[in-house]
Amino acid sequence: MLGSKEYPVGSNKGDDPITSGGIEAYVENLSEALAKKRVSVTVVTRRFAGTKAEEWHNGVRIKRVPWMRGRMLRNPSFNLHSLMRAWDEDFDVIHCHGAVASLMGWFLAKTKGKPLVCTPHGVSKGQPQYGAALNASIGATERFAYKRAQCVVFLGEEERRTFGMKFGFVPNSVIIPPGIRLSKYKPLKKRSLKIVFAGRLVAVKGVRYLLDAMKSVHAELLVAGEGPESEALRRRAGTNVKFLGHRTDVAKLLAENEIFVLPSLSEGLPVALLEAMASGCACVVTDVGLPVENNKNALVVEPANASALAFALNRLLRDNKLRTKLGKNARAAAQEYSLDSLAERHKALYAGMLL
Q: What mean pLDDT is reported for the chain?
A: 94
Residue 17 lies in a domain: no
Q: What is the CATH number of the domain that holds 115?
A: 3.40.50.2000
Q: Is the preceding omega at residue 66 within 30 degrees of 0, hence cis?
A: no
Do 168 and 71 lie in one domain? The reply is: yes
Q: Which of 34-43, 94-103, 117-126, 205-214 has the lowest mean pLDDT?
A: 117-126
Do 40 and 148 lie in one domain? The reply is: yes
Do 227 and 265 lie in one domain? The reply is: yes
Average pLDDT over residues 329-340: 95
Q: Is the pLDDT of residue 122 over 80?
A: yes
Backbone angles phi, psi at 55, to 5 degrees: -170, 170
Do 328 and 343 lie in one domain? The reply is: no
Q: How many domains does the chain have?
A: 2
Q: Is the pLDDT of residue 267 over 90?
A: no
Q: Is the pLDDT of residue 135 over 80?
A: no
- Which pLDDT value is given to residue 151? 98
Top pLDDT among 259 and 136 is at 259
- Determine the structural domain holding residue 231 and report its residue range: 182-334
Q: Which of 16-25, 53-62, 175-184 has the lowest mean pLDDT?
A: 16-25
Residue 186 lies in a domain: yes
Do 158 and 141 lie in one domain? The reply is: yes
- Which pLDDT value is given to residue 72? 79
Q: Is the pLDDT of residue 134 over 80?
A: no
Do 226 and 300 lie in one domain? The reply is: yes
Among 307, 105, 289, 306, residue whose Cα is nearest residue 298: 289
With left for phi above 0 and alpha for psi between -120 and 50, is residue 245 left, alpha or beta? left
- Which pLDDT value is given to residue 341? 93
Do 301 and 186 lie in one domain? The reply is: yes
- Which pLDDT value is given to residue 22? 83
Q: Compute CA distances 303 → 34, 76, 176, 252, whole Å.
A: 35, 31, 25, 28
pLDDT band, very low/low/confident/very high, at 248 (cuts 50, 70, 90):
confident
Do 175 and 27 lie in one domain? The reply is: yes
- Which pLDDT value is given to residue 130? 66
Residue type, 148: R
Do 134 and 279 lie in one domain? The reply is: no
Do 107 and 139 lie in one domain? The reply is: yes
Spatial contact of 228 and 18, defined as CB atoms under 8 Å apart: yes
CA distance 264 to 205: 4
